[in-house]
Structure 1
Amino acid sequence: MSAYPKTTALMRRGAEFLGSEHAILCGAMSWVSERNLVSAISNAGGFGVIACGAMTPELLDAEIAGTRALTDKPFGVNLITMHPQLFDLIAVCAKHGVGHVVLAGGIPPKGSVEAIKAFGAKVIVFAPTLALAKKLLRSGGDALVIEGMEAGGHIGPVATSVLAQEFLPALADDYLVFVAGGIGRGEAMAGYLEMGAVGVQLGTRFACASESIAHPAFKQAFFRANARDAVASVQVDPRLPVIPVRALKNKGTEEFTAKQREVAQLLDEGKVEMGEAQLLIEHYWAGALRRAVIDGDVENGSLMAGQSVGMVSKEEPVADIIAEVLAESEAALSRR
């Protein structure tokens, strides 16, 4: 018997799809969602996801192997669609028999979904609009994550609660939809499950778990922060379509504005193409994140965090976080 019967019943389709006990995905956070955190989440009954980010195929190969050494439970890999070596990264996932690949950061390029499905993996996609969601699901996506602007890292312009009201009634009967962005407690999770979601994705709640390798200074910045400290980056030049990023406000946030100006000038001078310009921005984020997460430079690094950061007040084991949100969800559903 499940300790959370009502929650488990609503998550059943999602858990069966993921092969995990609970349909709670870990958001892919570069430098944070690596073998230690990913394996801990999967071992605790959730579904860990490796953040490939700007990794080379060789690094991803080592990370998947390292994760496998720490868990025999299912986990996934998140790939950025604009990565110049995307198909090489897919080949690495194929080599390891990865069961689920999450494609994030834009519309999957031609042939990528087919390449993933060719080795039997499930494809999880993101979509900012209902029309695009339907298109991606019809053309091979096995499940969808809808992520609201409250999330940390790269964000869209619409709130989670609005996306859920728009997408779930239209898709939940026929497709598997997970909800992400700003979910910090089980009561919110219960609400989305009742609306038809098959599970949720949490990022910020897991970033400071005991098993997270994030630097103590990075974790302390989260513990001190409240919701309004997690701000979205500003777009400097309309010709440079930079996806906004939500992070805790610091010097690094200001430096990103300067970086955009620098890249926009390179575009002006014809020194880079648009695709290359966007990659320069992505590499900037990868470096800025590393400075904060690994080196603990919380002044100049990037402290990517969702608005649920105010609900992160202490370091605790992944298993406790999962048990807490499940218990809150179950209590909320039992009060209905």
Structure 2
Amino acid sequence: MNQSSSIGAERLQRRMTRGASFLGSEVAILCGAMSWVSERNLVAAISNAGGFGVIACGAMTPELLDAEIAATKARTDKPFGVNLITMHPALFDLIEVCRRHAVGHVVLAGGLPPTGSLDAIKADGARVICFAPALSLAKKLIRSGVDALVIEGMEAGGHIGPVSTSVLAQEMLPEIADALPVFVAGGIGRGEAIAGYLDMGAAGVQLGTRFVCATESIAHPAFKKAFLRASARDAVASVQVDPRLPVIPVRALKNAGSELFTAKQREVAASLDEGKAAMAEAQLQIEHYWAGALRRAVIDGDVEHGSLMAGQSVGMVTREEPVADIIATLLAEAAQALEKRAAA
């Protein structure tokens, strides 16, 4: 390593120290929890490569999560986390499963943590990471005792908020980055962006789309091929048909499945009109639709009618390669960017 590249690498390491120390990993790169994709193989590979893998629990039962954590531990002795959905009806049972396995970090997604959930997670020393799509919510979560935050912009894949990553980072990092570790997510596909957010005060970053086509990812070859062919403009947000339905927009690659979701919303709205379903049940139907549609695409390879959840960074996914190579490339790009700034 020459002196100039060494300077960039040292600067990068210093900026990642807080996030890596918090996670217990070598580098402060989280893998976003992607249902059916972020399972034992990819999670273990990311942690083994120095990053921090996160199991996507999604709609798993406690028994399934128990088996998934055990299988992941059999593949890595490095730290990894578990992502739990706050609206899961068995949330506290899932938290207990994480406790039994001594999972050190639990990521809560899908809304404000229910009463008692933070205490249950932290009772044996585990750390809680929550998503904060707005500054006011971030401050509320900090007061409630969360240990770290992820601020994720609308460029991300899957369920998204209305504000871009760059705007959220500018608005929130100066206000909250001193209080606790903050990880930036959404639209990150290269190391230069990682360097930029670290310079702004982020403790680290979270990437999802970039890892979908990893060699270790179990995603169906047809699913990966769709990613490799896609450009940024192919990853579009879903449209809300009925304002009564609390549908969080989902970013995915355009296909026939996008139209199917629009039809599903109309069907659920009609059942509301006819009194056949309550609002909570209607929302659950929507969530179950996405879980099934995503499985059809990721596992079965139905890329026409399944859901191809992808962030706008999908255009930067150009080949299938090992996780270790993806992380090494991101780190090299980030170090080079920091080196250039040091020399400027």
> What TM-score does the superposition give when structure 1 sets the normalisation length?
0.98
Q: Does 1:299 align with 2:266?
A: no
2:111 matched to 1:86?
Answer: no
Distance in 1, matches of 2:198 and 2:72, equals 29
Q: Which residue of 1 aligns with 2:277?
A: 272
Residue 124 (structure 1) aligns with:
129
Which position in structure 2 is the counterpart of 1:177?
182
- 110-119 vs 287-296, which moves further: 110-119
Q: Does 1:7 align with 2:12?
A: yes
Rounded to whole Å, the distance in 1 between the matches of 2:255 and 2:173 is 36
Counterpart code for 2:248: I
Segments of structure 2 that go 5 or more residues without pairing to the other structure are none
SS for the counterpart of 2:327 is: helix
CA offsets per residue over residues 153-183 of structure 1, 9 Å max, x none? 0000000000000000001112110000000
Of 41, 50, 55, which residue of structure 2 is paired with 1:50? 55
* Distance in 1, Cα, partners of 2:77 & 2:305: 38
The question of 1:166 aligning with 2:174 is answered: no
Count of aligned positions: 336
Q: TM-score, normalised by structure 2?
A: 0.96
- Per the TM alignment, residue 280 of structure 1 is displaced from its structure 2 partner at its CA by 1.1
Work out the percentage of aligned pairs sharing the same amino acid: 81
| Correspondence for 1:145 | 150
What SS does structure 2 have at the residue aligned with 1:25?
strand
Cα deviation per residue 1:37-56 (whole Å; 9 max; x = unaligned)? 00000000000000001111
Local SS of the residue matching 2:205: strand
Task: Tell me, in whole angstroms, the C-alpha distance in 2 between the residues paired with 1:88 and 1:117.
Answer: 15
Rounded to whole Å, the distance in 2 between the matches of 1:269 and 1:112 is 36
Indicate which of 209, 214, 217 corresponds to 2:219: 214
Alignment of 1:57-68 (within 5 A): 57-68=62-73
The CA deviation at 1:269 is: 2.2
* AA at the equivalent of 1:40: A
Give the secondary structure class of the aligned counterpart of 1:102.
Answer: strand
Q: 1:237 aligns with which of 242, 245, 250?
A: 242
For structure 1, the 5+ residue unaligned runs are none
Moved more, 305-314 or 3-12: 3-12
Q: Tell me if 1:110 matches 2:105.
A: no
1:101 maps to 106
Q: Which amino acid aligns with 2:194?
A: M
Alpha-carbon distance between aligned partners in 2 of 1:57 and 1:272, rounded to the nearest angstrom:
27
- Alpha-carbon distance, 1:34 to partner: 0.1
Displacement of 1:271 in angstroms is 2.3
Distance 1:119 1:275, change over 3 A: farther
